[in-house]
């Protein structure tokens, strides 16, 4: 049979293999039925032909690259709105040969391999699809070059941007965090110019006279510091803007605002957590954010598995497009997935998209430093990632310092990891109620006022439990995991486990 140019689309349920080992047959059937109910009608409506269904995945062929990209956007928006599972969508365009109920060709292989690199809840596509589609109709942005198994050389990947989510480029994100971002909005007064400004133009039509006037009015000489926020932008306007050295933030205005709100929340909590309460000359001991604790699963018929993302500044978050790696926890164990380049386990480099199970004592290295993994065999935790923050909180003799989500001052504020996008739910009504009630791991396991560290004279330290339902634990290389029901003695070098957070007890300036 002769070949024809087609756009190949793959959809794939995230973590399907792990789900099959943690739910019964009825739960699995409901999951696959829901996947089919949400995804297949969109493929057909946009002109796709389902060539193969593998239960957790579809392969469809489209005569139009534009229709394929539109289908990808519709799918990620629909699945995000339903919030019952996560999905990956990928596409590539090229010659395809159809034989019986299957399709073959380089485009099929490429679309499949791109799917393995695609982030959960995202739709990625190839350079060939970008060239063939009507770029005025599809909100899209470049992602990065990736190395794919069985594909020669690096592959440039692009992302379809749905209305529900926007990704902030690093320069814009960093400028916002440092209060150097000036958001210039159409028909609104110009704000005060920061000392080291990055400018983001919003609500301007690409290529418009208004935009050109606004750009000319800004006394910024470096073109790379000028950014335009747009959702739909034609290829001519895109080329004109970017060829001048300017940057683009692709996203629906409401999603861009939400992205900034997320950065603001992260930044405010980081500042609160790192605030040093007392004069360092009075410090007897330092409390240091020391890493991530991994609860064991399954958890109370609610959580079947979960993930956490690591940022380059050593912070753990639920999910981020700025992540360098992802840790995945399931009943079989813990594994790490490299997202960015520069990640290694025990000196073994991991390519982006490559994953590896972790053993006790593994050294996990990446941008920002190294983390030591400790495998635990004592419920309720399966493991710990240990890496001290460079900014301690000093505690003086006689001072009582609370640890919690809302501790009394002076207090050690636990990271605020909001959202449920990192959770894989158990089947059944209990998990459904928890999801509807806003359950998160950090909210369930850490109290507003969880515990308190008291520094006594003579180098004695005590930990008191404050919360009746959220237990606190102590761990070190020299003492097993210990639950603190009322109070316990602490020693320099110990780790306090509060929810999913490790708080280290260190000597002043890191001296144990």
Residue 339 clears pLDDT 80, i.e. is over it: yes
Task: Using pLDDT thresholds of 50, 70 and 90, give the confidence band for residue 47.
Answer: very high
pLDDT averaged over the chain? 88
Res 309: pLDDT: 94
Share of the chain above pLDDT 90, in %: 57
**Over residues 224-242, mean pLDDT:** 95
Res 240: pLDDT: 95
Question: Could you tell me which residues are beta bridge partners of residue 97?
Answer: 104
Res 280: pLDDT: 45
Share of the chain above pLDDT 70, in %: 94
CA distance 144 to 432: 36
Res 20: pLDDT: 61
Phi-psi category of residue 100: left, alpha or beta, with phi > 0 → left and psi -120 to 50 → alpha: left
Contacts of 68 (CB under 8 A, 6+ apart): 7, 9, 46, 48, 60, 62, 91, 93, 125, 129, 133
**Over residues 182-201, mean pLDDT:** 88
The CATH superfamily holding the domain 4-160 is Nucleotide cyclase, GGDEF domain (3.30.70.1230)
111-122: pLDDT as tens digits = 999 998 898 899
**Over residues 380-394, mean pLDDT:** 88
DSSP assignment of 175-229: HHHTT-EEEEETTS---PPPSS-EEEEESPPTT-HHHHHHHHTS----GGGEEEE
Domains 4-160 and 266-510 share a fold: no
Task: Using pLDDT thresholds of 50, 70 and 90, give the confidence band for residue 306.
Answer: very high
Res 378: pLDDT: 67
**Which residue shows structure tokens 């006022």?**
449
Ordered strands of the 247-250 beta sheet = 181-185, 198-202, 226-230, 247-250
Res 278: pLDDT: 39
Res 398: pLDDT: 83
Q: Are 415 and 320 in contact (CB under 8 A)?
A: no
Res 273: pLDDT: 42
236-289: pLDDT as tens digits = 999 999 999 999 999 999 999 999 988 887 655 444 444 443 344 467 888 999
- Residue 356 in tokens: 């590896």
Contacts of 456 (CB under 8 A, 6+ apart): 397, 398, 462
Res 89: pLDDT: 97
Res 392: pLDDT: 81
Q: How many residues does the chain have?
A: 512
Task: Using pLDDT thresholds of 50, 70 and 90, give the confidence band for residue 319.
Answer: confident
Q: How far is CA 397 from CA 269, 301, 489, in A?
A: 26, 44, 15
Residue 503 clears pLDDT 80, i.e. is over it: yes
Domain 266-510 has CATH 3.40.50.300: no
Res 203: pLDDT: 95
CA distance 50 to 398: 69
Give me the residue spans of the domains in the chain: 4-160, 170-250, 266-510
Res 21: pLDDT: 59
79-138: pLDDT as tens digits = 998 888 889 999 999 999 988 788 999 999 999 999 988 988 999 999 999 999 999 999
Better pLDDT: 329 or 152: 329
Q: What is the pTM of this model?
A: 0.59
């Amino acid at each position: 049979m002769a070949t024809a140019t087609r756009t190949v689309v793959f959809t794939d349920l995230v973590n399907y293999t792990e789900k099959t080992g943690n739910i019964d047959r009825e739960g699995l059937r409901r999951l696959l039925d829901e996947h089919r109910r949400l995804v297949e009608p969109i493929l057909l409506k946009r002109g796709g032909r389902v060539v193969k269904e593998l239960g957790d995945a579809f392969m469809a062929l489209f005569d139009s690259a534009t229709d394929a990209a539109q289908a990808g956007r519709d799918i990620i928006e629909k699945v995000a709105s339903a919030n019952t599972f996560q999905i990956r969508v990928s596409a590539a365009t090229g010659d395809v040969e159809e034989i019986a109920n299957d399709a073959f060709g380089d485009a099929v292989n490429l679309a499949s391999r791109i799917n393995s690199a695609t982030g959960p809840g995202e739709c990625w596509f190839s350079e060939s699809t970008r060239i063939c589609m009507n770029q005025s109709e599809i909100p899209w942005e470049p992602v990065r070059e990736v190395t794919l198994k069985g594909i020669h050389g690096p592959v440039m990947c692009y992302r379809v941007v749905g209305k529900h989510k926007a990704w902030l480029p690093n320069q814009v994100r960093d400028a916002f965090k440092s209060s150097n971002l000036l958001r210039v909005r159409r028909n609104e007064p110009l704000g005060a110019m920061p000392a080291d400004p990055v400018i983001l133009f919003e609500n301007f039509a690409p290529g418009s006279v208004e935009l050109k006037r606004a750009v000319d009015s800004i006394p910024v000489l470096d073109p790379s510091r000028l950014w335009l926020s747009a959702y739909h932008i034609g290829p001519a306007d895109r080329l004109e803007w970017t060829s001048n050295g300017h940057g683009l933030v692709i996203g629906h205005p409401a999603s861009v605002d939400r992205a900034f709100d997320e950065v603001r929340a992260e930044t405010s909590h980081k500042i609160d957590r790192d605030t040093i309460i007392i004069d360092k000359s009075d410090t007897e001991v330092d409390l240091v954010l020391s890493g991530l604790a991994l609860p064991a699963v399954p958890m109370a018929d609610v959580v079947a598995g979960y993930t956490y993302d690591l940022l380059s500044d050593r912070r753990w978050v639920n999910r981020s497009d700025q992540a360098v790696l992802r840790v995945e926890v399931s009943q079989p164990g813990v594994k790490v997935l490299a997202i960015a380049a520069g990640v290694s386990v025990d000196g073994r480099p991991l390519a982006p998209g490559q994953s590896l199970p972790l053993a006790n004592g593994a050294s996990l290295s990446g941008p920002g430093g190294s983390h030591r993994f400790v495998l635990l065999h004592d419920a309720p935790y399966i493991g710990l990632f240990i890496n001290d923050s460079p900014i301690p909180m000093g505690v003086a003799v006689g001072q009582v310092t609370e640890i919690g989500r809302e501790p009394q001052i002076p207090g050690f504020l636990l990271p605020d990891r909001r959202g449920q996008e990192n959770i894989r739910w158990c089947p059944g009504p209990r998990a459904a109620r928890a999801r509807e009630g806003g359950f998160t791991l950090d909210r369930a396991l850490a109290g507003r006022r969880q515990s308190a560290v008291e520094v006594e004279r003579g180098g004695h330290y005590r930990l008191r439990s404050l919360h009746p339902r959220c237990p606190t634990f102590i761990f070190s290389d020299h003492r097993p995991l210990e639950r603190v029901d009322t109070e316990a003695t602490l020693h320099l070098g110990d780790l306090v486990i509060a929810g999913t957070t490790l708080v280290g007890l260190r000597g002043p300036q890191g001296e144990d």
